[in-house]
Every structure is written in C-alpha cells, then in structure tokens.
A and B are shown apart, each in its own frame.
Chain A
Amino acid sequence: MLTFRKILFNLMAWSIVLAVAFPLFWMLVTSVKPGFELFRRPPTILPETWTFEHYWKLLSETNFLIYFRNSIILSSATTLVVVAVATLGAFSLVRFKYRGRESLAFLVLFTYLLPSVVLIIPLYLLLVGLGVSNTIFSLVIAYTTFALPYALWLLRSFMAGIPEDLESAALCDGATRMGAFRDVILPQLLPGIISTALFTFILSWNEYLYALVLVNSDSSRPLTTGVMNMLISSFNIEWSLLMAASVMMSVPLIIVFAFLQSYLTRGFGAGGVKG
C-alpha cells in the first residue's frame, strides 16, 4: 500500500516536472525535424526523420557564428572586469572600516535593484557622446551597470562567510593585509568567486535591452538581438532554424549547468535569498 502511494506520488511529481520541461524538449525536437514534418497534422512527438540540416544552415548561411563570437567576447570581458573589481571591492566593504562604508553598501544594494530603463537613456547619450556606440566595448560598459552591483552583492555575502580569525592569524604571523588577502582569503573565497563569475557570465549572455538599444550593426551584435533579428527580418519564419539557434544559444548554459551545478546552487543561496 505504502509503495503504491509512493509510486503514484513519483508519477505525479515527474509528470509535473516533464510538463515544465516540455517547451525545452519541444525546442530540441523541432530543431532536428525536417521542414516538411513540421507541418504534419497531428504533429509527430519524436521526429520520424532526424536531420541536422538546420544546424548546418545556421552555421553556414547566417551570421550566427559572428553573433556567437561577439557574445563570448562580450560576456567574458564583462565577467573578467566585474569579478576582478568586485572581489577587491567586497574585501574592502567587509573587512575594512572607513567613513562612508555603510552608505556604499546601501548604494550597491540600491543599484542592484535599479531598473535598466532608468539608466539606458543617459547611458545611450553618454556612449554616443564618447563615440563608442555600436561596439562590443560599449556593451561591456553598459553591462557593468547591472553586473557590478550584482557581483559585489554576491561576493560580499561570500566574503562575510569567511571567518575573520583566519585573517587575524595571518596578520599575527606578520603578513600584510594584502598578503593575507592573497594567501588566506582568496583560496577560501574561490568557490564564491567561481559561482559569481558563472552567474555574471549567464546574466551577460542573456541580456537583451542594452544590446537592442546600443548596437545595430551585425558585426558587433550579440546573440540575443542577433537571433531575434533573424525572426523579425525573415519573410518566411523558419521555426526549425530558430529552434536550432535557440539550442545552440543555450549550449554554454547547459555546459555550465552540467559541470558546475553545485557552484550555481551555492551562489543562488548566497545572493538571491540571504541578501
């Protein structure tokens, strides 16, 4: 009786999980169906004929690879700059005492919650004025507006979790503050830095609004606006092609997900909830 209830519960739970995951399954299935099978009534759940022609077409006939390269450069550059600056900043905010420290922490939290649309108009004017609009560089600048507060906030709570005694002990042994930071705090903080970097990367990879406003040339467009452009500009919407693009766009996330899930959940706990 008890096992019967257990089985029933499992089946119920898994049908909900599969329903939630269905859109992603459908994306995969659509991307490997040949064009004619897409319009079959009733639709085939698993493709009768598998084909990778859409992936081939995506890579050879569209600008997808350029967008992909742009997104990689953009997200890596943003992550690198933001994590480096935020690690030092978080160290300072948590472990040093000076005037204005509290207000700075408050400002970080405030900007973390600030909507992009408030900043986007002045940023647009600023970047046009500097003459750097329409470049990947301008997007890196724009992305720091949401990525830096975010990374600082995450790293701040990771930093607060490292016992202060460790640093004090190193200082007693004659280490300088920066020496202690390098030899004692950084190794302890490494998991936190990794998950912050992952989150920042994902955040930049997925950003849409700034890319829409600041860049309108194909040579520096990232994936989000680039792929969306493929939908808008096509006369005849090729859903298989778009689904193939969606799958390819999610590949880096799947890789991050599969290998580093523990880091992700850790970051989620520290930043999203504990605050």
Chain B
Amino acid sequence: MSRQKTLLERRYAALGLTLIAPTVLIFSAVIVYPLFSAIYLSFYNVFTPTLEGEWVGLSNYAELLQSGKFWNALKNTLIWTIGSLSLQLIFGIGMALVLHQNIWFRSLARSLILFPYFISTVVAVLVWKWLFNDLYGILNHLLMKVGIIDFPMDFLGTMPNAMISVIMVGAWKYFPFVVIAVLARLQSIPDALYEAAKIDGAGPIARFFDITLPQLRDVLVVIVMLRAIWDFKEFDLIFLLTGGGPLNDTQTLPLLVYQEAFALNDMGMASAYAVVMMLIMLVFMIVYIRRTKDDEGS
C-alpha cells in the first residue's frame, strides 16, 4: 500500500515538474541567463556599436567607486526615493482615511484617485510637461494669479525645482497604490474596536493613534518595502521628465546605467553600475522576501 502511494506521489511530482517546465525554461532564457551575463559583462570593456570587448577585471568597479558620477547618482536616487515615498505615504494614508468615510459618490471618487496609477508614465509625463510649460502652462498662470510668484517659474530646468517637480509628479502617480492597500486593510478592522474605544472616551485623534495606526502597521511595512524597491529602480518617470538634468542633478542610478550603455557606449561600465545598484536593492529585497515567507509560515 505504502509503495503504491509513493508511486502515485512520484507520478504527481513528475506532473508538477512538467507543468512548471515552461516557466523554468523561459526564466532561464530571459532572466537567469541575462542576470549572470550582466555580472560577467561588468568585468569587460564593451564598446556598444561594435560589441567588441576585452577583459578588464575589477577595474570597472574601481573606477565606479572613485568617480563622482556614481556617488552623485546614488545621492539623487536616495533623495528621490525618500522624498517621493514619504509624500506617497502621507497623501496615501490621508486619502485612504477620507475614502473610508461615507462620502458622496465614493466609488467615483475612488476611480478618479486610482487613475494616475494606471495611466502610462508617458501620458503622465506629457500632461505634466504641459502643466509645467513656462509660457502657457496652467500651473505658472495659477501661481502668478495667486501672487506666489511674479514671473513664470522653470519647473524642470533649474535646481532644486527639477528634483522637487520630479518628486511631486512621482508622488501623484504612485500614491494611489498606498490608498488602495491601506483602504483594503482599513475595511478589515473590526468596528467593535472603535466602539469600545468610544465608550472609554477616546476622541477621533486618540482612536487614530491607538487603534488605526497599530492595525495598519503590518501593511504599512509591506507598502514601504515594495514602494522603496520600485521607486529606487524607477526609470521612465525621471528619464522622461528631466532626462537626468539640469546637468546631472536628477540623474538616478537607472538613468546612469542607460546613459553609460546607450549614450556613452560602454556596456561593461553600465553593467557594473547595474550590478552595484542591484546589490544595494538586495538589502530591501531580502527583507521583503523574508517577511513574505514569515507571513506564509504563520
């Protein structure tokens, strides 16, 4: 009997392997192989147009750590990630609390809030470039009308305006993610908790800090990890808005990789940047993956 069972189990295992085979094949070809290939390339000097290269060992990495470009890009990446992520969290949690209330046309409001997240970054950037336009943009017009500025402002061509604009547009585009995630969690907090706190005489502010926030803690950790990873690797939004300029003041690591590979034509150096960037992200990724595993275990 037990022999037969193991036979069945073995047949099941074989079937399971067959079902996963296409996934494994595709993964190996388009993800695992390129990943190792990227590490391998980072030890070479590859001239992009001819694709000819020579082994240079660790010299790409040595150059990278000594060059101001890398540290500048790392600094910009951190400013962008931290700035945008904080705004996403503040607006996202605030908006989720508002949408959790019974406001008029709630589902319409929710759709409108969600929309920036789903439109293409290309669309978002085109619209914002038009809003930011120095001659005919509505933003300059409004700011001048209210009297905040006397002359049209250059939103994307000077510092610190460019970084602030990029961070703001990033916050606008990605805060809906926080809204939906927090909203889903809010809806699962038992009402009884609030009733009990009310009876004990807790006001709305005390209820927020004593019940809502602790209940949200777990989901917030997940949101912060995921968004930190995604913001850190953001390419489209920054590349399309400023292209890394003015000078290199909004150039983040992904933009640096692109520039090095396809504008400066050094794929080896670009790979070295990409590998270092991945190593930095690995810290966040491991924390997130650990957390997910723990969740599944419990």
Chain A residues in the interface with B (C-beta under 8 A): 9-10, 13-14, 16-18, 20-21, 23-24, 26-27, 30, 38-39, 41-43, 85-86, 88-89, 91-93, 95-98, 101, 104, 106-107, 109-111, 113-126, 128, 141-142, 144-145, 148-149, 152, 177-178, 202, 205-206, 208-209, 213, 223-224, 227-228, 231, 239, 242-243, 245-246, 249-250, 253, 257, 261, 265, 268-269, 272-273, 275
19 residue pairs A–B, Cβ–Cβ below 8 Å: A21-B112, A21-B115, A23-B131, A88-B22, A98-B17, A115-B277, A116-B233, A118-B38, A121-B38, A121-B41, A121-B261, A121-B270, A208-B236, A209-B239, A213-B262, A249-B123, A268-B184, A269-B184, A273-B222
Q: Is B112 a contact of A122 with CB atoms below 8 Å?
A: no
Q: How far is the CB of A15 from chain B (nearest CB, A)?
A: 11
Q: Spell out B's residues near A (CB within 8 Å).
A: 9, 12-13, 15-17, 19-20, 22-24, 26-27, 30-35, 37-38, 41, 51, 95, 98-99, 101, 103-104, 107, 109, 111-116, 118-124, 126-131, 133, 135-136, 138, 141, 145, 172, 177, 180-181, 184-185, 219, 222-223, 226, 229, 232-233, 235-236, 239-240, 253-254, 257-258, 261-262, 267, 270-271, 274-275, 277-278, 281, 285, 288-289, 291-292, 295
Give complex CA distance A243, B126 in Å.
Answer: 7
> In the bound complex, what is the Cα–Cα distance between A116 and B233 (angstroms)?
8
- Hey, which chain B residues are within 8 Å of A98, CB to CB? 13, 16-17
- Which residues of A have CB within 8 Å of B17? 92, 96, 98
Which of A20, A43, A117, A250 has the most chain B CB within a 10 Å cutoff? A117
Identify which of B123, B257, B275 gathers the most chain A CB atoms within 10 Å of its CB.
B123
Q: How far is the CB of A250 from chain B (nearest CB, A)?
A: 5
A142 contacts B123, C-beta separation under 8 Å: no
A-B pairs with beta carbons under 8 A, tally: 263
Report B-chain residues with C-beta under 8 Å of the C-beta of A257. 111, 114-115, 118
Q: Which residue of B lies closest to A256 (CB)?
A: B118
Complex: A231 Cα to B172 Cα, angstroms: 22
Closest beta carbon of chain B to A63's beta carbon, Å: 15
Top 4 A-B pairs, shortest CB-CB distance: A96-B16, A115-B233, A122-B34, A89-B23
Chain B positions within 8 Å of A123 at CB level? 30, 34
A118 with B277, Cβ < 8 A, contacts A20-B113, A206-B122 known: yes
17 further interface pairs, Cβ-Cβ under 8 Å (given A96-B13, A125-B267): A9-B101, A20-B112, A21-B112, A23-B131, A24-B119, A88-B20, A97-B9, A98-B17, A115-B274, A117-B253, A125-B51, A205-B120, A208-B236, A239-B130, A242-B126, A272-B180, A273-B223
List residues of chain B with CB within 8 A of the CB of A121.
Answer: 38, 41, 257, 261, 267, 270-271, 274
Q: Which residues from chain A contact B262 at a C-beta distance below 8 Å? A: 213
Docked pose: A121 CA to B260 CA in angstroms: 11
- Nearest neighbor of A273 in chain B, beta-carbon distance: B181
A16 with B98: in contact, given A239-B130, A272-B180, A273-B181 (CB under 8 Å)? yes
- Give the complex CA separation of A86 and B177 in angstroms: 24
Contact check: which of B19, B257, B275 meets A91 at CB < 8 Å? B19
Residues of B within 8 A of A141 (CB): 30
In the bound complex, do residue B120 and residue A249 qualify as a contact, i.e. CB atoms below 8 Å apart? yes
- On chain A, the residues within 8 Å of B130 by CB distance are 26-27, 30, 239, 242-243
Residue from the list B41, B99, B278, B288 in contact with A115, Cβ < 8 A: B278
Query: Is B126 within 8 A of A227, CB to CB?
Result: yes
Q: Which residue of B lies closest to A23 (CB)?
A: B127
